[in-house]
Amino acid sequence: MTDQAPSQVSSSRPPTTWAIEAIGLTRRFGSSIAVNQLDLQVPPACFLGFLGANGAGKSTTIKMLTGLLSPSAGSAIILGEDIGRGSTEAKRAIGVVPEDLAIHDRLTGSEYLMFIGRMYGLSRDTILQRRSELLQWMELHHDPKKLIVDYSHGMKKKLALAAALIHDPQVLFLDEPFEGIDVIASKLIRELLAKLLERGVTIFLTSHVLEIVEKLCTHVAIIHQGELVAHGSIDELQKGISDNSGRQRSLEETFLELVETDRTNLPTLSWLS
Amino acid sequence: MDQILAIVWVRTRLLINTIRLKSSGWERMASVITMIAGTLLSLGIAVLIGAAIESSARVDNGEGAETLRVGLIGCFWCCTFFGVLIPLLLSTGASSIDTGRLRNFPISRRRLALISWGSSFLGPDHIFYYPFLVAAYVVCWIEIGLVGPGQTLFFLMVPVIIVTWSTGLVSLLQSILRHRRGKEIAGVLGISMVLAVSILPSMLASSLKARPPGSRAELGHPLHPLLEYINLTPPNLAADGFLALEDGNLQLAGLKLLALLCWLLTGVLVGYMIMQIGLDSGGTGSRTKTSGPADHEASGRDLTRLLPWLPPEVVAVISKELRYLLRSTVGKFNLLALPVLCVLFGQLFKFDQTEQLLPGFEHDQLVIYGLLMYALLFTNNFISNSAGWEGEGFKVYLLAPVSYSRVLLGKNIGVWLYASLLYLEVISFWTIFHGIPKLEVIFSTAMLFTGAMVIFTIAGNFSSIRFPIARDISAMKSQPSQAAILISILTVACLSGTVVFIVLAPYMIGLNIGHLIPLTLFALLSLGAYRISLPIAGEFMKTHGEQVLEKLESGH
């Protein structure tokens, strides 16, 4: 299921409204093209792992899909609304955990969630209830007076996820959510994501940890040098690239097959050989 | 030696790279100009020092040795001032290097201390004052003939002691700045010191002015014991030792050298201990006490109930903005400094209450205006770089389903509420220490403060979107970008002209209506202008949001 246009990440009949739809999405920075003519359609209640090497264009794509970066060409559509044009409805429907977390770190966790809840137009009572539950779930309730700047990296990640969930989004974008966190926090986040998927939330996740993507995601899309080189369910992807013996490859092998550059002409490291 | 040279190279490279980090061509050019000006200034000061010592040594009034001593002491103190101050200022910036981070390399602690100390001699923050010493040395050679090795040793002791103490102080500052709370305290203390230094001369001048001419000499007496202690400081010891050798008084010179060695040894020990503590504390991350589970419902205070007529998202931004302002170093400093300034300014301007500077204005009123404008200038840091204080959090405004003009309105009201707090503080403390101001004074100052704050906000909304610069709210350095400063200066100039014109115009046409009506008109017109500018600023933020984010993410 590689190199097919348009890139539908669906296994059965296409829905009437895609949760996420990229049409010819392109972003140029000066003369260089970070993302080139990206076409992608993600149905509701799909867990998509968006993979790519460093500098492949993952973060640029996620920024365009969340409205943080306007595309040079093409459209980014969330649940039928063009987010690139600043659609308020599209913004209300998404939750985002950016790679840098984008937290106001001189607030306490409680204050930050109150702020975010208000920004998404929730009532005070709703915020209080959800905030209390989220902080308990994330195990961030022990020290309410502690400023976020004093949190550990894992705590900040969990808080950013809580902030992305407080308004009950239909589509969740997670940029490297498992980077720099311990096993316990990782397990907690995985459990939460599984619950969200059961609820019908569409999850768009980028990660370098392919084992996690393999375990969690239902679908995978791979970007290489700004272009989509593969997409589909994990099974479809692994079957699409099988070795001569017919053995099904792991996601890592599949990924490397698609994006690894030819290293045969590289010089050897003389002092190590 | 290779390791020392490597660190010297890194120090220099970091300094040069700060220029490359400047995003715009204008800012890069400004940095290059600053560096060239610094070098020229250094050479200029060296020439001035040389000329001063040379001319004082030539005075043939039997006090040649004494004037040479004063010249040398002046030169050595100048070196000490620059040698300690400049590394301390640079140690908070991108051009500094934290010795603690070098411990990952295969270097023993003693060697690390030695490398750090040795490399400081050739660091760009110390070579700045070497020309001063060279100039003084050359002049001494010309004036008194061949300078012997003993006398040269006294000259060399000056930079050695400066570098030793400066390295220790920089290590101390860096270990303090690793902790957020320490950073905030250092920030408040730093700004207070600058303020004290800037106010003291004018206070002293005012006190002298108030005393009868005959009694001024009495001021010198309490300083005499202090002057005796100053003779035990390294610059004085080095100068006295140099001259003792010149007179052939070997015993005195030996004593001075011994004292200098004590300074050096103490500096080495203190510096080494500070470095050890810094390395053992593990560096980054602050420790905070963890209390038990608490009720989050109780901590859910927000301003929605106090400001029910405003949209909730605007109130959310106001709450966040107020919390940020009250938790920032500059925000805390303003609240602490204003009561002190109220007392000081009140005392300072007590002496000449004879005439009115502006028609119809009370003298106290002008002092309160001055205080409020002072507060306004400090608050301007938040207004003209409002996006810069957000850091990564700015992304929230681009992601949230809220119009940008509402975001700006919330941010602006947050700063206005904080400014109102400052206004109330000024009036309250003025009342406590200098009596209740007239109602007319309270009203007119409120109108002027409102008008000026709103005009600053209009300019600040555009400059903070167009020229954002990432700032840490707990840092000492808080000023906006150079372009935003320029806009603020222009705003102040236009504002002052407008206010003076509004107040004086009725007098000039013979209309004696006082200044209350013109100032009220000014405040209302400012608010009207703000109302018109807000949607335009919102649209400006919409079109420039990506660039703001890009600048804040790049950290400069």
Disruptive mutation site among A65, A69, A114 for chain B (greatest number of B CBs within 10 Å): A114
Residue that wins the pLDDT comparison between A102 and A111: A111
In this predicted model, what pLDDT tens digit does every residue of A147-161 receive, in sequence order?
A: 888 888 889 999 999
Nearest residue in A to B404, CA atom: A86
Residue that wins the pLDDT comparison between A144 and B143: A144
Residue that wins the pLDDT comparison between B195 and A24: A24
Residues forming beta bridges with residue B129, ordered by sequence position: none
Return the closest-CA partner of residue A159 out of A198, A185, A187, A196.
A185
Residue that wins the pLDDT comparison between B31 and B415: B415
- Spell out which residues of chain A touch residue B312, defining contact as CB-CB under 8 Å: 118, 121, 124
Arithmetic mean of pLDDT over chain B: 74
Average pLDDT over residues B396-407: 90
- Spell out which residues of chain B touch residue A141, defining contact as CB-CB under 8 Å: 293-294, 296
In this predicted model, what pLDDT tens digit does every residue of A62-79 receive, in sequence order?
A: 999 998 888 999 999 999
Is the pLDDT at B554 greater than 90, yes or no?
A: no
Torsions phi, psi for B5 (to 5 deg): -65, -35
**Backbone dihedral region of A183: left (phi > 0), alpha (psi from -120 to 50 degrees) or beta?**
alpha
Is the pLDDT at A263 greater than 80, yes or no?
A: no
- Spell out which residues of chain A touch residue B292, defining contact as CB-CB under 8 Å: 142
Who among B295, B317, B392 is closest to A102 (CB)?
Answer: B392
Cα of B51 vs its chain's centroid, Å: 32
What integer pLDDT is reported at residue A49 of this predicted model? 93
Whether residues A102 and B292 touch (CB distance < 8 A) is answered with no
pLDDT band, very low/low/confident/very high, at B494 (cuts 50, 70, 90): confident
Assess: ipTM above 0.85.
no
Is the pLDDT at B228 greater than 90, yes or no?
A: no
In this predicted model, what pLDDT tens digit does every residue of B267-278 receive, in sequence order?
A: 888 888 877 776
| Most confidently predicted of A62-76, B166-180, B479-493 | A62-76
Disruptive mutation site among B180, B183, B397, B399 for chain A (greatest number of A CBs within 10 Å): B399
Report whether B463 contacts B384 (CB < 8 A): yes
What integer pLDDT is reported at residue B193 of this predicted model? 60
In this predicted model, what pLDDT tens digit does every residue of A18-47 receive, in sequence order?
A: 899 999 999 998 888 999 999 999 999 999
Give the number of other Cβ atoms within 10 Å of residue A99's Cβ: 16
Who among A67, A105, A131 is closest to B398 (CB)?
Answer: A67
Size of interface A-B (CB pairs under 8 A): 129
In this predicted model, what pLDDT tens digit does every residue of A118-172 receive, in sequence order?
A: 888 888 889 999 999 999 988 888 888 888 888 888 899 999 999 999 999 999 9
Average pLDDT over residues B285-301: 42
Whether residues A110 and B296 touch (CB distance < 8 A) is answered with yes
Report whether A115 contacts A107 (CB < 8 A): yes
- Spell out which residues of chain B touch residue A92, defining contact as CB-CB under 8 Å: 401
pLDDT band, very low/low/confident/very high, at B181 (cuts 50, 70, 90): low
B286 touches chain A (CB under 8 A): yes
Reduced to 3 states (helix: H, G, I; strand: E, B; else coil), residue A149 is helix
In this predicted model, what pLDDT tens digit does every residue of B325-358 receive, in sequence order?
A: 888 877 887 787 777 777 777 666 654 555 555 5
What integer pLDDT is reported at residue A204 of this predicted model? 95
pLDDT band, very low/low/confident/very high, at B373 (cuts 50, 70, 90): confident
What integer pLDDT is reported at residue B291 of this predicted model? 41
Return the closest-CA partner of residue A84 out of A66, A99, A97.
A66
- Nearest Cα of chain B lies from the Cα of A213 at a distance, in angstroms, of 25
What integer pLDDT is reported at residue B63 of this predicted model? 59
- The predicted model scores a pTM of 0.65
What integer pLDDT is reported at residue B349 of this predicted model? 61
Question: A-contacting residues of B 68-127, CB under 8 Å?
Answer: none
In a 10 Å sphere around its CB, with 0-12 CB exposed, 13-18 middle and 19+ buried, how is residue A45 labelled? middle
What integer pLDDT is reported at residue B217 of this predicted model? 46
What integer pLDDT is reported at residue A11 of this predicted model? 47
Whether residues B304 and A124 touch (CB distance < 8 A) is answered with yes
What integer pLDDT is reported at residue B102 of this predicted model? 60
- Nearest Cα of chain A lies from the Cα of B22 at a distance, in angstroms, of 19
Disruptive mutation site among B314, B396, B473, B549 for chain A (greatest number of A CBs within 10 Å): B396
How far is the CA of A42 from the CAs of A14, A58, A140, B348, in angstroms?
A: 9, 16, 33, 71
Contacts for B535 with CB less than 8 Å, ≥ 6 apart: B405
- Nearest Cα of chain B lies from the Cα of A38 at a distance, in angstroms, of 21
| Most confidently predicted of A108-112, B83-87, B112-116, B469-473 | A108-112
Who among B312, B393, B398 is closest to A103 (CB)?
Answer: B393
In this predicted model, what pLDDT tens digit does every residue of B500-536 receive, in sequence order?
A: 777 777 767 766 667 778 888 888 988 999 999 999 9
What integer pLDDT is reported at residue B46 of this predicted model? 78
What integer pLDDT is reported at residue A61 of this predicted model? 93
Average pLDDT over residues B229-234: 81
Who among A66, A89, A128 is closest to B297 (CB)?
Answer: A128
What integer pLDDT is reported at residue B303 of this predicted model? 63
Residue that wins the pLDDT comparison between A52 and A254: A52
Whether residues B399 and A91 touch (CB distance < 8 A) is answered with yes
Q: By mean pLDDT, which of A217-221, B147-151, B401-405 is the weakest?
A: B147-151
- Spell out which residues of chain B touch residue A103, defining contact as CB-CB under 8 Å: 392-393
- Spell out which residues of chain B touch residue A150, defining contact as CB-CB under 8 Å: 180, 286, 288
Reduced to 3 states (helix: H, G, I; strand: E, B; else coil), residue B105 is coil
- Nearest Cα of chain B lies from the Cα of A119 at a distance, in angstroms, of 5
Q: Indicate if the alpha-carbon torsion angle B398, B404, B408, B410 is positive or negative.
A: negative
Is the pLDDT at B208 greater than 70, yes or no?
A: no
pLDDT above 70 covers what percent of chain B?
64
pLDDT band, very low/low/confident/very high, at B152 (cuts 50, 70, 90): confident
State the Cα–Cα distance between residues A255 and A259, nearest whole angstrom.
6
What integer pLDDT is reported at residue B4 of this predicted model? 67
Query: Between helices B329-348 and B404-434, what is the axis angle to 10°?
Result: 30
Whether residues A100 and B553 touch (CB distance < 8 A) is answered with yes
| Most confidently predicted of A171-180, B60-69, B439-448 | A171-180
Four-point Cα dihedral B72, B74, B78, B83, nearest 10: 50
Radius of gyration, CA atoms only, chain B: 28
Tokens found for residue B348: 């300072």
What integer pLDDT is reported at residue A248 of this predicted model? 67
Who among B394, B396, B474 is closest to A116 (CB)?
Answer: B396
Nearest residue in B to A92, CA atom: B401
Average pLDDT over residues B318-323: 90
